[in-house]
Homo-oligomer: A and B are copies of this chain.
Amino acid sequence: MCDSCGCDITPDHSHDPKIVEVHQSLLAANTAMAKKNRAHIEKMGAVAINMISSPGSGKTTLLEKTIEAIGDSLRIGVIEGDIETERDAERIRAKGVPVIQLTTGGACHLDAAQIHKGLHLLEKEPDGDKLDLLVIENVGNLVCPATFDLGEHHRVVLVSVPEGPDKPAKYPKAFTSSQVFIISKTDLLPYFDFPVEEARAEALQLNPKLLVMDLSATSGQGFEQWLDYLKEICRK
C-alpha cells in the first residue's frame, strides 16, 4: 500500500522470492555453460575476448581495423551478437575472417548457451577451427551483458569520446567485471569535453586492475598498444 495515495504499489520485483529464484537458476546455468565454453575454446587452442559497450561505440569498426592491422600475426575468428540484422557479420566477413552472426531476437545480451551454439557453427566455417583469437562482439548495451559470463578469458569494455566521461560511474558493473577499458574515437577529442585522464582515474577507482587504453581506429592513435595486448594474451 502506498503511504501517499493509498493505492497498491506493485511489489519490488527484484526482491520477489520467485523471481530471485528464477534469476539465480538462470545465472547458475549460464555460469556452468560458460565454463564449458572456456574449456571448448582452449581445446581449439584459442583465447577469447568479450567486447561490451553502448550501441555505436565503435566495436565493429575497431574489429575491422584490428583484423586489417594484425595481418598474419594472429588468426582471428568472430562471433557477432545483435538483436536483429546480419550487418556486422557482413562487415567482418568482408575482411576475410571466419564469422558467425547470432541474433537474439529481442534479448538484450548474449548468453553462454548462444555462444556454445556459435562455437559449433564457427568451427564449420572455412578455417573456423584454426584460431588464435576468438572475438565475441556482444549486443550494444552497457548494462545487461556485464552480468553474463560467455566463457571468455578477457572482457573489454569500450566508451567512445562522444558518449562522455561519466560512463564508468553511471554503469559500474561493466567496468568492475572487465580487464580492459578502451576509450575509443579519440580522433574526436578536439570536438568534445572528454578529460581522458579523469575518465581513466574514475575507472581505476572502480577497478584498480583495469588496463586502460585510449585509441582511434580512424587515425590509428594508440593502436600499437591494443595490437600488442592482443598478441600478448594469445602468446602460447
Contacts and interface: CB of A to CB of B under 8 A. Distances in A.
A107 B14 CA distance: 9
Interface in A1-31: 2, 4-5, 7, 9-14, 18-19, 22, 26, 29-30
Contacts of A173: 83, 106
B144 A143 contact: yes
Contact of A166 (B13, B85, B106, B108): B85
A204 to B, nearest CB: 17
B143 A5 contact: no
Given A108-B144, A160-B162, A5 B40 contact: yes
Contacts of A54: 54-56, 140, 142, 163
A142 B143 contact: no
Contact of A143 (B7, B14, B141): B141
B10 A140 contact: no
A188 interface: yes
Interface centre among A9, A18, A56, A107 (most CB of B within 10 A): A56
A201 interface: no
A159 B120 CA distance: 35
A9 B116 contact: yes
B144 A162 contact: no
Interface in A159-180: 159-160, 162-164, 166-167, 169-173
Given A83-B171, A84-B172, A87-B170, 14 more contacts: A5-B120, A7-B116, A9-B113, A9-B117, A10-B111, A10-B112, A54-B163, A55-B163, A56-B160, A56-B164, A83-B143, A85-B166, A85-B170, A87-B169
- Which 5 A/B pairs are nearest by Cβ-Cβ distance? A56-B163, A162-B162, A108-B143, A10-B113, A4-B120
13 contacts: A2-B116, A7-B36, A10-B29, A10-B111, A10-B112, A13-B26, A18-B22, A56-B164, A83-B170, A84-B172, A85-B169, A139-B143, A141-B141
